[in-house]
Structure 1
């Protein structure tokens, strides 16, 4: 079971305001830039993301029903800022991996035992933008 929605809401108001400045350059972090399905607004969501062959794997700590995940799936992709680079990504795919095998050991431990979030989003890098 992923982290409860009330934590997601609290993070949106508090922690995300800080991590959105750290996530574009910190190892293991990224910012997903996506457009709202209904509002059309641009959103910047900081999260755990790791480079893997041809793309990125993103931990869905609040589950696959999160608005940002639904926005990315509906659009068929998004922009991603990671390690001071910007990418256009597409082919979003949600999958479940109870062992969190694509994650580094500490993140794997957090996802499996503390947060209990077995869902992930993989995206493929189309091109580097900056």
Structure 2
């Protein structure tokens, strides 16, 4: 299940500007830095972010049809700011939640929301 698109639009306009100021330093959050596919404009998108052996894991609460995900794929990667540190990341890999071999808190979050997919952001 994914959250309704009206929630995504509300978060984009209201929640993200506020959350964007704390996400780079707050536990369980991060900011994904990416460039627009056509405009080249720099963006910073706050997300719930988990450390993973491969790099980082983002639960795709609104599904895989997200601009930040498309922008990272088109550019071959970007950056993540997590706990105040900046990391280079490669192109994202979208996986069904069942295939992601989740454990601990990420597994609980996916289970609570019954979310169908996750994105793995490999560190460079």
TM over 0.5: yes
Quote the Cα distance in structure 1 between the aligned partners of 2:4 and 2:99: 20
Please list every run of 5 or more consecutive structure 1 residues that lacks an aligned counterpart in the other structure. none
Please list every run of 5 or more consecutive structure 2 residues that lacks an aligned counterpart in the other structure. none
Quote the Cα distance in structure 2 between the aligned partners of 1:112 and 1:76: 30
Conserved in 1, the CA contact under 8 Å of 2:97 and 2:115? no
Task: Give 1:113's aligned residue.
Answer: 112
Instruction: Name the structure where strand makes up a greater proportion of residues.
Output: 1
Q: What does the per-residue CA deviation read over 1:40-63, in whole Å, with 9 as the maximum and x for residues that have no partner?
A: 111110001111114111111111
Deviates most, 94-103 or 77-86: 94-103
Residues 100 and 91 from structure 1, CA distance in 2 versus in 1: closer, same or farther, beyond 3 angstroms? closer
Q: What does the per-residue CA deviation read over 1:3-42, in whole Å, with 9 as the maximum and x for residues that have no partner?
A: 1111111001111111111110111110001111122111
For 1:41-52, list aligned pairs within 5 A.
Answer: 41-52=41-52
Query: RMSD value over aligned CA atoms?
Result: 1.8
Residues 17 and 103 from structure 1, CA distance in 2 versus in 1: closer, same or farther, beyond 3 angstroms? farther
Using the size of structure 1 for normalisation, the TM-score is: 0.85
Q: What does the per-residue CA deviation read over 1:57-78, in whole Å, with 9 as the maximum and x for residues that have no partner?
A: 1111111111111111111111
Conserved in 2, the CA contact under 8 Å of 1:100 and 1:112? no
Runs of 4+ more than 4 Å apart? none
Quote the Cα distance in structure 2 between the aligned partners of 1:64 and 1:124: 17
